[in-house]
Amino acid sequence: MSQQTAYRTHHATDVTEGLVGEHVTLAGWVDRRRDHGGVAFIDLRDNTGLVQVVINDEEMAHPLRSEYVIEVDGKVRLRPEGNENDHLATGKVEVVAEKIRVLAKSDALPFQVSTALENESENKLPGEDVRLKYRYLDLRRPAMQRNIKLRSDMMRAARTELDKLGFTEVETPTMIKSTPEGARDFVVPARLVPGSWYALPQSPQLLKQLLMVAGVERYYQFARCYRDEDFRADRQPEFTQLDMEMSFVDQEDVIAMAEQVIKAIWKADGYDIETPIRRIPWQEAMDKYGSDKPDLRFGNELIELTDYFKNTPFRVFQAPYVGAVLFKGGASTPRRQFDAWQDWAKQRGAKGLAYVVFGENGELKGPVAKNLSDEERNGLKEAVGAEDGDAVFFAAGARESSQLLLGAVRVELANRAGLLDPKKFAFCWVVDFPLFKRTDDPDDDDVAVGHSKWTSMHHPFTMPSKDWIDTFDEDPEHAMSDSYDIVCNGNEMGGGSVRIHRDDIQDRVLNVLGITPQEAQDKFGFLLEAFKYGAPPHAGIALGWDRTVALLAGADSIRDVIAFPKAGGGRDPLTGAPAPISDEQRAETGVDYDPEEDED
């Protein structure tokens, strides 16, 4: 397809040796300008890249400044010998300008976006608030252009694969009824029905299940989701999921389908992912890696020492769980750095981080060492698989919180040792999740979906595993679910489950969660009603699209792969949202509607 338009015959990177001697018209931004005694050189930038333009006429060159938008007519020639630039796709040629038209001028920019920046230190970038305030300039940078293009390529790859697999893309509404899904809803006043509200969907969960009842059988969409959550580093109040649901399938079918889609997505950026992807039961992931989203790019598994210390004189280790993680070569760490590790642990809510070091002569040192029995000291090196010159960190207390701390230590050690290669991808499925979790967990800020001491690990429509169908409500603490997460490089990339399609099982799950039949009717009676009319067995999965793109792009934050993300607290430095509204607007929305006044 021809790219010729009213302003150009070619894009910058189309200008190669094959066009030498030809006239071209280019359009783009002045990336930078260099003057060499009567001759000016400018790098012209468009969204494909750069090409060098030579201007022999000083008057023509004089008005041009960085980031001016220009149109250039000129002739392509080879660069003089020795002047080629191997770093540029167009580095063997240049365009000799015959005519230049300024299409738009530019004020001096608040920060540099020139491609030259890419070859220098990224530290020249301003803080993120400034980048987000001038996001339209930040997006001009080649790194950001690459991310936005990659996101588009990945979407196309997913759509193509899902089309091959017989899926139908269906859009579900953005304004729905508030239903419990584990976070707070954003709500929108309904002007035409004073006192009533729409909610923005936290996910299309109920709607996609209704599509299964409707006989769509294979549905997907790139769904916008909205959650009013407390701000954390990599959370956005609005985000995108690649949402997929299938009828007449079980967990194996969904996993096989998702692996094909993931393979196609990674292929879009030239990577070949090996399938089938390894599976790890949830309990094993916690025991070995201290995380339900384990990073498998490196080893160094957690070591359980609960039995080893079962008769310990050390009060701290008289706990339901004692575990350790090896710090290879850690004995040479200065004391102040071990003190810094204590602060690091306290920031994660722990009391501290116990440790010992194995000196070069085999001597055991560190604050914990003197509290151990001779027998414990003598056998410790072998128990943890250490050598002279290593150190070991310990955690003791409740099993899950101790493992989470050691899991974080394991990743931090790998990070400091430079083992987290963003171009290496280690996938796994985490399977065999509990069906419920406690609502009084201090480490969990999810909103309980009901009113009991149990809430859903995933959501209230997750099917109990086959072994637990008959007894899950008798022993909620140990009940397991038919759910699965796809994990990559220590990030939960997506998750899903087999859904409940039988109303008797759904009623029992809601009962465990403390949701009364009347409340269930009020909140999602439309789904329960639909299930009375022949609901097929169905299951699905959703990939967090922003996280998936960030992983493949090697971006540190999902904000770097979203065109217009929010900053901390859900603020938008670009537009100033959220912002107050006028008194007139407020009155129109009906948010202050009082039904009692209306009766008067």
Annotated binding site: 181, 227-229, 236, 458, 492, 499, 544-547
Q: Which of 411, 314, 414 is nearest to 356 (CA)?
A: 314
Tokens 């940078």 — which residue? Answer: 141
CA distances (Å), 155 to each of 244, 254, 554, in order? 13, 19, 17
Side chain identity, residue 419: L
- C-alpha–C-alpha distance, residues 212 and 571, integer Å: 37
Strand pairing partners for 54?
41, 96
Q: Which residues are annotated as a binding site for ATP?
A: 227-229, 236, 492, 544-547
Q: Which residues are annotated as a binding site for L-aspartate?
A: 181, 227, 458, 499
75: left (phi over 0), alpha (psi -120 to 50) or beta: beta
β-strand 436-438 against 427-431: which pairing, if any? unpaired
- C-alpha–C-alpha distance, residues 115 and 43, integer Å: 9
DSSP state of 467: G
- C-alpha–C-alpha distance, residues 68 and 310, integer Å: 73
Residues 442, 447, 452, 457, Cα dihedral to 10°: -80
Supply 488's token pair. 């990559």
Tokens 């598994």 — which residue? Answer: 301
Question: Measured between alpha carbons, how far apart are the two ends of the chain, in Å?
Answer: 68
171: left (phi over 0), alpha (psi -120 to 50) or beta: beta
* The 3-state secondary structure of 25-60, one letter per residue: EEEEEEEEEEEECCEEEEEEEECCEEEEEEECCHHH
Buried b (16+ CB within 10 A) or exposed e, 20-59: eeeebbbbbbbbbbeeeeeebbbbbbbebbbbbbbbeeee
